[in-house]
Amino acid sequence: MVKNGQLETLDKLNTPDLNIPETIVETPGALNKKQISPDVFPQIPPTPIPVLDPALRAWLEIDSAALLHNLQQLQGLLSPGCELMAVVKADAYGHGAWGIAATILAQGVESLAVATISEGVELRQAGIKAPILILGSIATPEAAQVILHHHLEPTLSSYSQAQLFSEIVTNTGTNTGINLEINQGTNSQQFCSRPTLPVHINVDTGMSRLGAPWLQARELVQQVQALPGLEIASIYSHLATADELDPTVRELQHDRFQQVIQSCQDLGLSPRVKFHLANSAGTLVDPELHYDRVRIGLALYGLPPAPHLRSKASLQPVMAVKARVTLVKSLTAGTGVSYGYSFIAPKDMAIAVVGIGYADGVPRLLSNQMQVIIRGQRVAQIGKVTMDQLMIDVSAIPDVQPGEIVTLIGADGKEKITAEDWAEAIDTISWEILCGFKSRLPRLTLA
Ligand SMILES: Cc1ncc(COP(=O)(O)O)c(C=O)c1O
């Protein structure tokens, strides 16, 4: 759908209340409103805009087809009866939470996870009605009220947190007519009134972050069962080292989780209570970790959590990062480039200025260490990456013109650069690279 450097026929979704910046969606394809339950797109009529503004200096392209391919691949791996919960925190790892959530819910994904209350509220305000688990910890009654009001589902690590929610549900939830509603587990997005709040008990089996100590899990489950107004929706834990080759910690956590499940067997838990442990790496590495649900983030966005897991599923990166050449100039040998002159032209050169910088999410640490693709050819980035611009060496490419598109992450012709490549170059992880792209970059969703 990208022709001559321009996206054809774009719709701009009018999201006045949402503060979801500059989300632009093509009319045809996976985000075609005709293919998606109207409830997922409530009261948001598409407002056509002509084409991608040729003046747009930098943007992210979100490939819906790749997203759906990854979803299919991952669902195909799951053990029978296991459900995929999509982790869409941090704006769906930079991909735009609302667009990602709407697309995958339309394909049968039934539940979402975010980190913070405001991430959940944004999705609710955008009309997403699927169950949303808040993975973060909730500390104040005010925060708990917001959770309740927006039909979000909290993580509980302690009895005091459980008491907080129980009190709020019993004192305000039912009496003041706050209508607790939960999704029925279908994409019909049908809500029904319920007098209880679904809660998720987190058990610390070795991550040492959130969760009740695993040896006290049974006790906490019993305590929550005894509290009015709460309904245990799931009991879960999080793996600390599933992406590492050494299985020792993963196996220890698995064993502890198994013991937690066994210890709860005589507590009369509803068969609806789901047990879950695996993230992307856990899902890919061992089907025994699947249980009733897997919580998948990175793999859904098309990146393997570790090189040795690459062969477990054929994943396609969902995000591409592109920017335009804004200026082309000639340098004579010996000329310094950008702040600090970390690059001095070794010969006469042609360089291009590209309209993207560290304020958009290109790590400054990549200065002089990254390549980009222009006209299907890799060229070197030179000098320090600046806040809004960076320079590239186009000496080998004839007559580069302002307005030409540069691919920073993504494919162009036979060349391809991934977020993994960036992560490796600066000794970080793909998750951080993806989450680093800022809201000032429009997200363009391609069918
Ligand atoms: C509790 C929890 N579950 C699942 C995930 C998803 O992890 P991944 O992106 O590796 O699939 C995360 C992400 O950090 C998480 O914090």
User: Which of 89, 129, 312, 384 is labelled catalytic?
Assistant: 89
296 lines ligand 1 (CB under 6 A): yes
Question: How many structural domains does the chain have?
Answer: 2
Whether 325 and 216 map to the same domain: the answer is no
Based on the residue annotation, tell me whether 236 is a catalytic residue of this protein.
no
Query: Do 159 and 207 fall into the same domain?
Result: yes
For position 176, what pLDDT does the model report?
36
pLDDT: which is higher, 32 or 122 = 122
pLDDT tier at 360 (50, 70, 90 boundaries)? very high
List, for residues 126-181, the tens digit of each pLDDT value. 999 999 999 999 889 999 999 999 999 999 999 999 999 999 998 875 433 344 44
pTM here? 0.86
Question: Residues 369-395: pLDDT tens digits?
Answer: 999 999 999 999 999 999 999 999 999
pLDDT at 245: 97
Residue ending a domain, among 278, 312, 346, is 312
Say if residues 367 and 342 touch (Cβ distance below 8 Å): yes
- Does 30 map to a domain? no
Averaged pLDDT score across all residues of the chain: 86
CATH number at residue 363: 2.40.37.10
* 401 shares its domain with 264: no
Whether 263 and 164 map to the same domain: the answer is: yes
182 has a pLDDT exceeding 60? no
pLDDT above 80 (res 333):
yes
Q: Return the structure tokens found at 124.
A: 């609710």
Range of the domain at 333: 319-419
**Secondary structure in 3-state letters for the chain:** CEECCEECCEEEECCCCCCCCCEEEECCCCCCHHHCCHHHCCCCCEEEECCCCCCCCEEEEEEHHHHHHHHHHHHHHCCCCCEEEEECHHHHHCCCHHHHHHHHHCCCCCEEEECCHHHHHHHHHCCCCCCEEEEEECCCHHHHHHHHHCCCEEEECCHHHHHHHHHHHHHHHCCCCCCCEEECCCCCCCEEECCCEEEEEEEECCCCCCCEEHHHHHHHHHHHHHCCCEEEEEEECCCCCCCCCCCHHHHHHHHHHHHHHHHCHHHCCCCCCEEECCCHHHHHHCHHHCCCEEEECHHHHCCCCCHHHHHHCCCCCCEEEEEEEEEEEEECCCCEECHHHCEECCCCEEEEEECCCCCCCCCHHHCCCCEEEECCEEEEEECCCCCCCEEEECCCCCCCCCCCEEEEEEEECCEEECHHHHHHHCCCCHHHHHHCCCCCCCEEEEC
Specify whether 179 is located in the same domain as 287: yes
- Give the nearest ligand 1 atom to 236 CA: 1
Residue of 70, 83, 87 with the most ligand 1 atoms within 8 Å of its CB, for mutation? 87
Confidence of residue 447 (pLDDT cuts 50, 70, 90): confident
pLDDT of residue 169: 92
Q: Is the predicted pLDDT of residue 48 greater than 90, yes or no?
A: no
CA 195–ligand 1 middle distance (angstroms):
30
Q: Which amino acid is at 336?
A: G
Cβ distance 310 to 87 under 8 Å?
no
Residues 274 and 400 in one domain: no
Among 312, 338, 356, the domain-final residue is: 312
The reply to whether ligand 1 has any atom less than 6 angstroms from the CB of 295 is yes
If you average pLDDT over residues 18-22, what whole number do you get? 30
Mutate to test the pocket of ligand 1, among 85, 279, 301 (most ligand atoms within 8 A of CB): 279
